[in-house]
Structure formats: C-alpha cells, structure tokens
Amino acid sequence: MSDEQSTPTTWGSEAKGLANRFALGSGVAVTFLLFGLIVVPALLRERRPLPRPPSDQPAAASVGWLDQAETPASKGRDLPPVDPATVMTPNPKLLARGEVLFKQNCTSCHGESGQGNGPAAGTLNPRPRNFTQPADWKRGFHVADIFTTISTGVKGTGMAAFDFIMPADRMALVHYVRSLGGFDHGAEDPKALQALADQFRSKGFHIPNRIPVSLAIKKMVTEQAMVPPLQLRPAEDKSASAELLRFAIVDPFRAARTVAATTNRGDLSTVARAWAAGAPDNGFAPAAAGLNAAEWSEIVRALVGRREEARQP
Amino acid sequence: MSSGTFAVLGLYSEAEKIVDAANQIRPHKLGRLEAYTPYPVHGLDRAIGLEPSRLGRLVMLMGVMGAGLALLFEWWVSAVDYPLVTSGKPLFSWQAFVPVMFEVTVLFATFTAGMAMLFALNKLPFFGHPVLHSKAIKDITRDKLALSIEATSAAFDVEAAHQALIDSGAESVEIVPVPTWDRPLSLVGLLRTIAAIVAACVVAGAGLYAAEKLMPIVPPMIHMEDQPKLNAFRESSFFPDGRGMRPAVAGTVARGHLPPAFATPEEAGTLLSNPLPLIQAIAERGRKVFGDHCAICHGTVGNGVPLLSRAYGGKPGNFLSNEIRARPDGHYFGVLMLGKNAMPSYAADLDNDDRWAAVHYIRILQRAQNAKDEDLP
Amino acid sequence: MSAASVHSSLVRNLLGAMTFIGAAGSAGVYFSVGRERFWVNWLVWTLFLLTLGLGNLFLVALERLVGAHWSVPMRRVPERIASLIPLAIVLLLVAFFGVPVIFPWTYPAAAHNPILVAKTPWLNLPFFAIRLAVCATVWMLFYRFYVRGSLRQDVSKDPVFTVRARRLAPLFMVVFFFSVTILAFDWISGLEPEWYSDMLGVYLFAGTFISGIAAMLVGVLALRRGGRLPEVQAKHVYNLGTLGLAFTVFFAYIGFAQYLLIWYANLPEEVIWFKHRIEGAWQPVALLLPLLNFFIPFFLLIGGLGKKHPATLRIAAFSILLGHFVDLYWLIFPVLGPVPLFGWPELAMACFFLGLGWLQIRRAMGRGADMPVGDPLLVKGLEWQL
C-alpha cells in the first residue's frame, strides 16, 4: 500500500487528469452557453407581451408596409403637360416603352403579336381586334383614333378605358400598336393631330391623393348617413296599406335603405321592378314581385310619404 | 492496516444462525452491521438494526404533491392562461382534471419510489461494492449467508470484530480491504463511452434505414382513411343515384341564392342598390371577401394589377379607372353574379351579403386611391 | 350455566328484542307512512345484507381461486358472514311484492312511454322473476357448496374438497359477475328505467367487494379481541387491510369513472340521474360517498402503522360499511323525492334488518370451529410470513 502512495506522477496519468478536467469543464461550459445564449434569452423573449393593435383599428393595419392597401397617405400631384414634339411621332425609345406597356395591358386579349388571339380572347364577344389586318380596325387606325379608343374604351365590348395610363405612355402604346400592323396606315388627319397636340399641351396628368384603406374605411363609415328603419304599422292596424306593407317588407332596416336609394329612379314601374329584383336582400319580400300596379302605387305612396314624414323634424 | 479495512465478513450456513449472530453482535456496537444473503431472511432486518424505510413517507408526500401540482397546473392552463370553454363546461372543471391528477400522482409516486430507492437510499451510483471483490462472494451468491461488520470510523477494531463473528458461530471470517478505485472518469472510459454511443447511433440508424427500405410499410391504422363518409366529389353508395354531392330538391332554391332578376350587369346597375349600411363590420367583411376572392386578380388595392399575373396573364379590370368608378353599385353586383369577359360568375361562391360587402369595399378602395384633400391626415 | 353463555343469551335476547321492535316499526311504516317508503327501505337493507353476504362468499371463492394461504386461518369469518345470503334471498323474494309499488316500468303508464315499451323484452314481470329465481338458485348452490363443504371438511379432513373448491372457483367468478350485474340492473337501475349505465353492475360489485372485506375485517378483529382466533396474527390482519386499501381505490375508480363519463358526455337522459343525486339536498349525501368509501379508509390504511393497529383498521372498516349503506341509500332513495328522507321509519327498519342479520350471523357462529381445521392449507397459512 505504501507503494501505491508513492507512485510517481507519470506523463500518462497527468494527461488523463487534464483530459478529464477538460471534458468536465467543456461540458459545464456548453451547458452554461446553452442556457445563457439560447434558453434564458428565449425565456425573456417569451415574457415580453405581444404587440397588440388597438381595438378600434382594423387588424390588417398592424402589417403596415407589407400590405399594399396600407401604404402611408401621400398627397396627390400634377405631372407637367407633355411636350407633343416628343410623342407625336414614333421613336425607338417610345416604341420600347410601348412594347413593355403592351405586354402588361393588352396581350391578354390582343395576343403577343397583336393578332387578337390572347389567352382571354375566347371569352370576349365581340372578339378582340386583330391589329395586323387593316379591315379589322373598326374605329380607325390613325394616331388620334387609336388614342381615343385607348383612353375611353369601347362601350359594349371588352375593351376597357385605359385612362389611368399616363398620356405619354398611351402615345407609346399607340405607336407600338401601329407598328404591329405592317400595312400602310395612310395619311394622318392634320386637324385631329393638332387637336391632340393641343390637348397634350393644355393638360397635365393628375395623380390623386392616396390614403391607407383603413383610414378610408374610417372616413366612409363616419360619413355614412344612417337611414332610420321603416316604421311598419303595428299588427293591430288592419288597414289595407298596413297589411300590404307588412306583406311586402321583410326587413325594415334594409327596406329603408332601398327606398332611400331608389325612389328617385323614375316612374312607378321602374321602382317596383327594382324593389322586386333586389328581393329579399333589399328588405322586400320576394313574393312582392307578384303585386299589381295598384298595390305597388299604394306601397310607394305609403313609403315615400312615410319617408317625407320622417324627414320632418 | 486498520485504515484499509472496509468490513469484516462472517459466513453462516443457516438463516436462524445469522439472525442469532446479528442479535448477539449488535449490542457491542463494533460497527455498522450489514448482511448479504442469497434469499430474503425474515427478521434479519430487525436483527441488524435496520430502521423502517423512509421511502413510504417520501412516496406519499410526492404523490400528494403530484396531485396538487397537477390540479394547480390544469387550473392555470384551462382557467387562467388559455381559458377555452369546452362543450359548455365551466373553465375550472375538476371532474375533467381528475384523470390527469391521478396520472401525475402515479408518475410522481413511482418516480420518487424508484429514484429515491436507487439514489438516496441505496446510494447509487457506485461502480463496485467492496464485498464483490471478496473471496466470500462466490459462497454468498450460492448458499451461504454473510454478516459483515463495516468500519464506520478510524477506531474500528478489526480484531474485536473478527473475534465477535467467530464467537457468534461464523464458519469462516474474512477481512475485506478498501479497494483501490480506478478513476471513474478515465480518458479511455470517456472515449469508450463516446464510441459506444456513436456505434449505437450508427447501428440504430442503419437498422432503421434497412427496416424502412426492406420491410413493407404497413399503415398502423387505416380506419380514418377508409371511413364511410360522404365526400362531395366522390361517388357514394349511400344514395341510389351514386352521387356524393346532393342536388337541390326539385323546385327549391337555396336560401340566399335566388336566381338574379337581371340579364346584364348594366341592367343590374339600374335596378339594384346596396342594401347594407356601410359600417365597420360590413367594411371588414368586404375586406375579407375581397381579399379572399378578388384581390388575386384585381390586386390588393383594386388597380387591376394581378397578384397572379405570371400564371394567368390576364388583364383584370382596374377599379380605379374613371370608367369603372362611374358605374353604380348594382353593376358591380351584376358582374359578380353573371361574370364579365374572362371573369367567371361568383354566384355559387358567395352569398348576396358577401357580394354587397365586397361592393362597399371596392368603393372604399376607390376612395383610398382617389382621396379627397380633407382625407389626408 | 357459565358467565359467557349468560352473556351470550343476554345479547341474543337483546338482538331478538331489537328485531321485534324493528319489525313492529316496519309494520307501522307500511300501514301508516306509505308503501313506497316501506319497500324502498326494504330494498336498501335487503341489498345491504345480500351484498355483504355475496361479498364474503366472493372473498372465499377468491381465496380458493388464487390459492392464497394467508387468509385460510381467517376464512371461517367470511364463510359465516356469507350465511346472510339465504336470509337476504328470502328478503329479496319478499321484496318481489314491492315491485309493482316502486318500479315505474310496472305502472300502467309505462305502456305509453316509448322508451319503456322498447325495454319491455327485458323489463317484464315474468322475465324479472325468472332472473331473480336463477340468480337466487345459483347463489344458494355456491353458498352451500363453499360453506357447507368447508364445515364438513372440519370433520372429514378430506383434502379433495380443497381441490374441488378451487376448480369451481372460476365458474363462480363468471356466474357471480353476471348475477351481480343483473342484480344491479334489475333492482337499482330498474327504479329509474329510462336511465341506464353499463357501469352500474361493476359499481355495485366494487361496493360489494369492499364492504365484504370490511365486514370480514370487523369479524376477524372482533374474534381476535374475544380470544377466539389466537393463531391469527397481526400480519394476517395487516394483509387483509392491504387488500381493503387496494379495493377502496378500485371502488373510487369505478365510481368516479361512471360519474366522469356521464358528466362529460352530458347526455340529458343520462345526466339527469346524477343531477337528482348530486344537486340540492342530496349533495351532502353524495359528498359522504367518497369521504366514507375512499378518503377515510384510504388515508387510514395507506401507511404501515394504520394496518397494524386494530383501532384504525376498525374505524376504516366501519367507515366502509357505513359508506356502503350510504351508497345504497344514495342509489335508491332519490326515487322518493328531491330531499333525503331519514327519520323513524328508516331507523325502525334498520333495527329490523340489522337485528335479523346479526342473529343470522350469530347462528352461523355456532357451526364448526373458528378456523377451518380440516383444510390442509391451514398450516401453511399459519406459517405464512409477510
């Protein structure tokens, strides 16, 4: 036993001891690091109260910049008038701009090369214009004609008004569309060109004010005029008009809004048809569609009279 | 020599003898008495002076604590932190907590029993009992019973213990020295442990991989997949016509789905007016309907720039254009009912109030993108 | 005449007097208070005696089934308490006259209740009588087999009976569970036939079991105190206490499981039964149930000390016995109304039935030795170490 006590410390046992301490120490260090860097911060983070939007704000307002509808308000401004000299005749820059805009706005119906064969063309009646065939142009293929068509659209067709595109860009589109049809466009009408140039010179493009949608909701909700519900006569009232009103109206609140919005639409038959058409969402009973003209006039008289009464202080 | 003695062992052949010997030696207070027997001997615990185990009280305490903690925890979870009414029961429904309380009681009690026995009372872990290194251990594990007098202090008298055991009738006596221990955490041992863990991981991983590759995967329970339920777009054996989706009863119209009384959106514009008041709740509903159904093509702000332009390639209407802004509410409603150009009808997807709320919301978008000067904050 | 026999005959006379007064009071209940109350009381006490007897017969059979040694020296006690079975069967047969009084499915109005009409295949008087007769026959057969056989073995010392008793034990278990379930369904559920609970049979069995153990405990302790079981040591009683502890938990588990499932599902037709029993004036009675049947015995018996002291064992056993009565009272009495009735009619009928039961047990005490001296397992049981 005395031999064991006097065993000299060898290199090997020293190294083992060091390794032991190193292993133990690094284990402790890793544990502390785990807690210090991950667990404790995570726990502290968990304790922080979650941000909550005030209750009178719509929930979407909290997503702020992520939501296009909630971009901060910006004041509207006027862009200066366009110099006609830069847009009246095609140039490479204008055509390049036109191509970009055409791809964005027109190809879905008119097709990549303007042949009227875009993906959505099949759903349209009449079908979209084929720009490459001179005979297909119904509203003229001169500069001023095309500009007008783009700006106002074509009523009764799928062609919408692209008035939200800036005039210079519309002109770029005009020139690009014309470049698609490789036929002779003939001479321009100088008078129409002059009028177009005057129009460009005289008027800039107005960019309107923009506000976040949540603010618009607030504004429009506060502006909303509350329409008082129609006062149906009590059930004891057995008069013919009271019975008729009770028969024709299912929701006095909605009916009041409908009456306020549509009584000035014209003659009795139009109003009656409108009320029957919107039933029952507008507060009138669907069965009211079967009423005859005399009954309708009775109803209108009762309701409009009632509304006039309600307006009196 | 005496400092190196762990205990003095005396061996006996019969259970009665060891009990008698223990009773004889105990009053001399030579050292702590301990017995090693191949089978339980009744009365030996009292003879060597063992006190009744404290384990029972400990288990009881922890069991009660488990029940209390479980109750506290469930009360806090279901009545304080996340109050959620379940099937009309009160938030603090002790009845529903009892099963969990029971389980936690059992958990605490059994873990306490196991852990306290092993670590507190049996003083684990240790890596080898000195008696395991004695010569007598072979006999003890076979048919002999051993009584040991353990050295509890430096003043332990080996000779006296030796004599006492012989006097009590021990067949043979052995002095068990304190063994020389290896370091519990040797480098080799550590490396071996790590290697063993790695090897176990490799073997288990390979086994799992092989099992997954070679064995057919048997779904554990397929009742959920195969349940005989009505699926709208599948055939069903429940109805005689074999259809899962039921057609409306002949001559009826679903509530809120009356066929429209107009033929074109323009006609709708002249006939209809929005029956919903523009209040906050309606605006929020419209925002939801618009976001769910409209914004994907007409854009979040309604400017006709589709969120899905690459896939669709369409040019949806721009609600901000003067042309569309000028249209009456009924026109929008009509388009929603009948569809327009490439836009499909939404008659089946929305109910009328949803449509009217969406119309309100389109008006709000138009206002937001074309605000009056006094609207600016 | 020795002092002991004087004492004994005095007790017997006192018990006889108590029974007689109780019988007179019961007649008074029948004629002056009301037939409903009489029969409901009758049913509670009959079931009380019957379950005590069946529980002890079950203990005997359980010992035979698992081949236990430790309880053999004490086995004469449950065998004697099982002698309540013939008495209780007679009482139950008498209770058959009360069936048209307290069981709503026998009323003429039941023909207009669609639920009861649907249950007619089970709930009709002939079948009811057949079930009663079959159960009673089976109980009597097994009672005679186990108790009389054991008494005969005292004299004959024939080890063959021990083997036969063990072979028949599994059959008894099966028959016993079915018959106790039928007993619970017929005589307890039948009082409110629109309600049902599959668990009521197990619930009654759990009550039977713990009250059987409690009665056996009381008997063993009483005999030991009187010096009639000198060979039975504290370790035997200790083990019996352990068994009691285990089965108080079982009873609490079954009772709570029945309550929890019905409470959770909250189906009106099921939950109304509990609403009548745990709300309003019945609430204190309902609270007594877990207290007497679980909390008091459990905490008295959980430690080692409690099972070593006869006093604590006795308190626990009486708590369970009282709890078993309260349990039957709570199961059956709510049919009389929303307020628990407990007055002189209940006391009078308690005197009658307790006196009867006690006399019957005393009668059985005279038969055979206090230990099954003919059982070859007795030596092993006496040598048994905890």
Instruction: Encode pLDDT of A63-113 as tens digits.
Output: 445 677 888 888 888 888 888 888 888 888 889 999 988 888 888 888 888
pLDDT band at A129 (very low <50, low <70, confident <90, very high): confident
If asked whether residues B169 and B289 sit together in one domain, one would say no
Is residue A51 scored above 70 in pLDDT? no
If asked whether residues A89 and A188 sit together in one domain, one would say yes
The pLDDT, as a whole number, for residue A305 is 66
Residue A103 sits in a domain whose CATH number is 1.10.760.10
Chain C residues with at least one Cβ partner in B under 8 Å: 256, 259-260, 263-264, 266, 302-304, 385
Q: At what angle do helices B55-75 and B94-115 cross, to 10 degrees?
A: 150
Q: For chain C, how many structural domains are there in total?
A: 1
Give the mean pLDDT of A126-150: 85
List of chains touching C (3+ CB pairs within 8 A): B
The sign of the torsion formed by the CA atoms of C353, C354, C356, C357 equals positive
> Which member of B42, B56, B88 has the closest CB to residue C304?
B56
Q: Is B272 on the interface with A (CB under 8 A)?
A: yes
Q: For chain B, how many structural domains are there in total?
A: 2
Which helix (H) or strand (E) segment is B5 a member of?
Answer: strand B5-12
Residue C381 included in any domain: no
Give the mean pLDDT of A130-157: 85
Residue B244 included in any domain: no
Residue C3 included in any domain: no
Whether residues A277 and B315 touch (CB distance < 8 A) is answered with no
The pLDDT, as a whole number, for residue B127 is 67
The domain of B12 spans: 1-198
Give the mean pLDDT of B73-85: 89
A265: its two tokens: 């639409």
Q: List CB contacts (< 8 A) between B375 and chain A.
A: 73, 209, 211, 215-216, 219
Residue A198 included in any domain: yes
Is residue A215 scored above 80 in pLDDT? yes
If asked whether residues A106 and A199 sit together in one domain, one would say yes
Residue B360 included in any domain: yes
The pLDDT, as a whole number, for residue A112 is 85
Is residue A52 scored above 60 in pLDDT? no
If asked whether residues A260 and A184 sit together in one domain, one would say no
pLDDT band at B85 (very low <50, low <70, confident <90, very high): confident
Is residue A236 scored above 90 in pLDDT? no
Give the mean pLDDT of A144-156: 87
Residue B317 sits in a domain whose CATH number is 1.10.760.10
Residue B179 included in any domain: yes
Instruction: Choose the final residue of a domain: B177, B198, B219.
Output: B198
Is residue B138 scored above 50 in pLDDT? yes
The domain of C217 spans: 12-372
Residue C7 included in any domain: no
- Residues above pLDDT 90, as percent of chain B: 31
Residue B237 included in any domain: no
Is residue B1 scored above 50 in pLDDT? no
Residue ranges for chain C with pLDDT beneath 50: 1
Composition of chain A by helix, strand, coil, percent to 5: 60, 5, 35
Residue A125 included in any domain: yes
Residue C125 included in any domain: yes
If asked whether residues B164 and B24 sit together in one domain, one would say yes
Residue of B367, B372, B374 to mutate for A, most A C-beta atoms under 10 A: B367
Q: Does the interface ipTM go beyond 0.95?
A: no
pLDDT per position as a tens digit, B31-71: 889 999 999 888 898 889 888 888 888 999 999 999 999 99
If asked whether residues A103 and A199 sit together in one domain, one would say yes
Residue C220 and residue C77 in contact, taking contact as beta carbons nearer than 8 Å: yes
Whether residues C304 and B42 touch (CB distance < 8 A) is answered with no
The pLDDT, as a whole number, for residue C236 is 92
The pLDDT, as a whole number, for residue B185 is 66
The sign of the torsion formed by the CA atoms of B331, B335, B341, B343 equals positive
CB atoms within 10 A of CB C79: 25
Q: For chain A, how many structural domains are there in total?
A: 2
Is residue A313 scored above 50 in pLDDT? no
CA R_g for chain B: 43
Instruction: Choose the final residue of a domain: B158, B177, B198.
Output: B198
The domain of A273 spans: 240-311
DSSP sequence for C140-203: HHHHIIIIIHHHHHHHH--THHHHHHHHHHHHHHHHHHHHHHHHHHHHTGGGSTT---TTHHHH
If asked whether residues B51 and B158 sit together in one domain, one would say yes
Residue A209 and residue A74 in contact, taking contact as beta carbons nearer than 8 Å: yes
Residue B211 included in any domain: no
Residue of C238, C254, C256, C294 to mutate for B, most B C-beta atoms under 10 A: C256
Most distant CA pair in chain B: distance in Å? 123
If asked whether residues B187 and B333 sit together in one domain, one would say no
The alpha-carbon gap from A217 to the nearest alpha carbon of chain B, in Å, equals 6
The pLDDT, as a whole number, for residue A248 is 85
Is residue A309 scored above 80 in pLDDT? no
Residue B238 included in any domain: no
pLDDT per position as a tens digit, B205-252: 999 888 888 877 666 666 777 777 777 787 888 888 888 888 888 888
The pLDDT, as a whole number, for residue B343 is 86
The pLDDT, as a whole number, for residue B253 is 82
Residue C236 and residue C73 in contact, taking contact as beta carbons nearer than 8 Å: yes
Residue A172 and residue A97 in contact, taking contact as beta carbons nearer than 8 Å: yes
If asked whether residues A200 and A255 sit together in one domain, one would say no
